Amino acid sequence: MDRTSILKVITLMVTAFGIGIDFTGALMLVPAIENSFDADITSTQWVLNIYALFFAMTMVAGGRLGDMYGHRKMMIIGLSIFLFASVLCFVSPGLDYLIGARALQGIGAGCVWPCTLAFGATKVSKPEHRALVMGLILAGVTTGNVFGPMISGAVVNFGDWRMFFLANVIFACISMVTAIILMEKETQHKKGEHIDFAGMGILSFAVLLLLYGLDVGADWGWTSVPLLLLFFVSAILFFLFPRVEKRVKEPLLLPQLMQNREFLITLGLNMFNVSAVFVGLLYFPQYMQKVLGWSVFQSALGLAPLTVLLAVGSIISGTLYNDFGPKRLLVWGYICVTAGAASIVVMPAGLGYLQILPGMTLMGLGATLTVGPSGTAAVCAVKPERAGLVGGLSFMTHLVYGAISVACATAVMYVTSLASLRNQLSADGISMSDADQRALNGGTLTTDSATAVLAKLNSAEAEKVKSAIASAFDTGMNMAFVFATLSVAVGILLAAKLDEKKLHKVEG
């Protein structure tokens, strides 16, 4: 690549780095947020889920607006929104306020990310460099994934998790300056485009109601009438979505793309590769803090086998894409992720960090062979003027399914861990109300609610309860990975069915 192209790639990597820091860094803050707002995991999971959902649903619009008005312009607008939302996160007085600010962050990131991918896919010097550039951009975001937990760990050690969001402000400013200076303004844009707000709205509400139902199911009762009505409305919206898409002028799912079997398979491959990784990013740090007793910073270092492999592997997968093609990379990648998720389930309890280390390593290796190639295959399969749209569409499916996976896994985890805690307390002869058991389950022992419950016990009983909680969390996490294993295994079948030759004839 020439010097100009290299500078452009550096700019895109800096932007991706800032987005990567926010995603994993915020996950590491979950126990600290639970303590600060006296919440449990079913509530704090929204710090991840609401961001992923709004990120996902904004990406298609952000990509299409970039195609219409310029990817550089939309990147700068998105970074401005992201910066403002980061300030709101910093001053959040409560969990609901924080969740709302995270939703706004997702909107900003959703404008930035597809335009970053599209700029990298269309503005490099030679077409044969495209896969390498995409790999470098993904390396930027995954390198941010590595440093994000370390930054959040450091700020928690200083005593205030809110300081993490100041790092977001700093990197958003850096990204804006480099984009303004190093990226030239585009003069030619796609004209006559329309944005499918109706489709995005229906799909967003369908997913949001599904996630909310999975969140409150344990409290409302899984067979309660209000919950069943919630799921029913969500199902109706999912049912209406394809019918609305047939009536709009420019649907989210373009007919010429959706009629191609290989392209649909590729979208599926963008979905299923995130199940185990998203669940791992949420639960591995909590396992290290709640079961092993590690600090946030120690947990960040413990997560490195997953995050470092994601960062390094993004570059490697970009160089391997042209040599081996997406199919072989995806098949072996999905096998590795499935084996890693399954290892969490079968590894015996009591091994400490070694219980999750093999799984983290296999999942990190497998994710490097699936995330980049699946996204690159989708973007490279269309005309350049559709790159922003398809980049947004592929990562939309990626993040929406990731949010759904986390919600499903958390529902399974919470119910399983609560049942385990109840059984162990009964075996230890400790009587405790259902309300007190719920206060202890799924959160940290230092929340106000948990502290009040433990204060009712003598020292011997308190130690037994702490041991039961750690064991219950481990049991619940294992069941969450049963769901993740089954979900990721679907990707092996899809990858085996992929026909690369037909895939690259889309819109040909």
Which residue, 142, 143, 115, 138, is CA-closest to 58?
115
Residue 382 has pLDDT above 70, yes or no: no
Percent of all residues in the chain with a pLDDT value above 70, rounded to a whole number: 88
Which of 206-220, 379-393, 413-427, 436-450 shows the highest mean pLDDT?
413-427
Q: Give the model's pLDDT for residue 394.
A: 77
- Average pLDDT score over residue span 345-365: 91
Residue 506 has pLDDT above 60, yes or no: no
Which residue, 41, 4, 136, is CA-closest to 442?
41
- Average pLDDT score over residue span 308-317: 72
- Average pLDDT score over residue span 187-208: 76
Verdict on whether the full-model pTM lies above 0.75: yes
More confident site: 399 or 174: 174
Establish how many alpha carbons lie within 13 A of residue 483's alpha carbon, considering only the half-sphere containing its beta carbon.
Answer: 22
Q: What does residue 40 show for φ and ψ, rounded to 5 degrees?
A: -115, 180
Domain residue ranges of the chain, discontinuous segments joined by +: 3-182+253-417+474-503, 197-252
SS3 content of the chain, % helix, strand, coil (to 5): 80, 0, 20
More confident site: 95 or 4: 95
Instruction: Outline where DSSP puts E strands in 199-334.
Output: none
Q: Locate 67 and state its tokens.
A: 């195609």
Contact 426, 472 (CB under 8 A): no
The CA distance from 315 to 7, in Å, is 17
Residue 190 has pLDDT above 80, yes or no: no
Which of 12-26, 266-280, 331-345, 408-422 shows the highest mean pLDDT?
331-345
Q: Which of 229-233, 291-295, 392-396 is predicted with the least confidence, judged by mean pLDDT?
A: 392-396
Residue 185 has pLDDT above 80, yes or no: no
Cα–Cα distance list, 405 to 85, 213, 279 (Å): 25, 13, 7
User: pLDDT tens across 423-443, in order?
Assistant: 998 888 888 888 888 888 766
Residue 380 has pLDDT above 50, yes or no: yes
- Average pLDDT score over residue span 274-278: 88
- Which one-letter amino acid corresponds to residue 335? I
CATH number of 3-182+253-417+474-503: 1.20.1250.20
Residue 277 has pLDDT above 70, yes or no: yes
Contact 406, 49 (CB under 8 A): yes
Contact 277, 367 (CB under 8 A): yes
Residue 402 has pLDDT above 90, yes or no: no
Q: Give the model's pLDDT for residue 315.
A: 65
Cα–Cα distance list, 334 to 239, 339, 495 (Å): 29, 8, 8
Which of 195-209, 302-316, 463-477 shows the highest mean pLDDT?
463-477
- Average pLDDT score over residue span 57-86: 85
- The rounded mean pLDDT for the chain is 83
Q: Give the model's pLDDT for residue 188.
A: 65
Residue 508 has pLDDT above 60, yes or no: no
